[in-house]
Amino acid sequence: MKRDGLSGALKHSALRLWELFYLKRELLEFSGDMHKEQWYIEGRDPQAHTPLVDVEIRRATRDDLPRFSRILSKKRLRKFEEWFDKGYDAFVALSAGEIVYYQWLAFRDFYHPWIEMEFKIGENEVYPVDVYAVPGYRMKNLHLAVDSMLFRYCRDRNRYRLVATASPDKFRLFQLMYKRGGLGTVHPVRSITYLRIMGFKKHRIRELTPC
């Protein structure tokens, strides 16, 4: 076991060293339009989903930062403070007063640190920027329950077009998840490749035709 642990640590160190010289990351940007959903056309709410655990779901405020601090590093907590200052919105699920799930939405331009790229958010668009469920509360329908609330929240603010990103291997999972939540028109719109070679950075962006 010790030998395996040492081998794993060496491989991890070698990978991090290699990434200083060469790094490649790929994302799919995808979009969904509430205007095309039957529930939106008929003036109804999207389907409501019930969590499989007893939680309170609501929009978060800056007063919730101490609750966030119980599950975040200090660095991440500073980022959340910055997002509140920028006017981003967070929705949370709480169990016994503790945050067990959160999802952040950006209604203005958002910088994606993983690919070092800024996304321009249109006046009718919304961009989910971060989502997390603590262990023990995953696969409990929390994401679906929060999404149905988010769709109503965005619709009421005339933000009917969702734009988000995912790694290519996880896009189908996101597509299925949003379809179950009531946004069935999700499709990829751009392929984004981020390259960093010897300190030089480049983005390759390819427009995709919806199927």
Tell me, which fold does domain 22-207 have in CATH? Aminopeptidase (3.40.630)
This prediction has a pTM of 0.86
Q: Where are the domains of the chain?
A: 22-207
Tens of pLDDT along 113-137?
999 999 999 999 999 999 999 999 9
pLDDT digits (tens, 9 = 90+) for 33-67: 999 999 999 999 999 999 999 999 999 999 999 99
Positions of E strands within 7-158: 22-33, 56-59, 89-95, 98-106, 110-112, 117-119, 125-133
Asked if residues 105 and 146 have their Cβ atoms less than 8 Å apart, the reply is: no
Q: Which two tokens stand for residue 197?
A: 């070679």
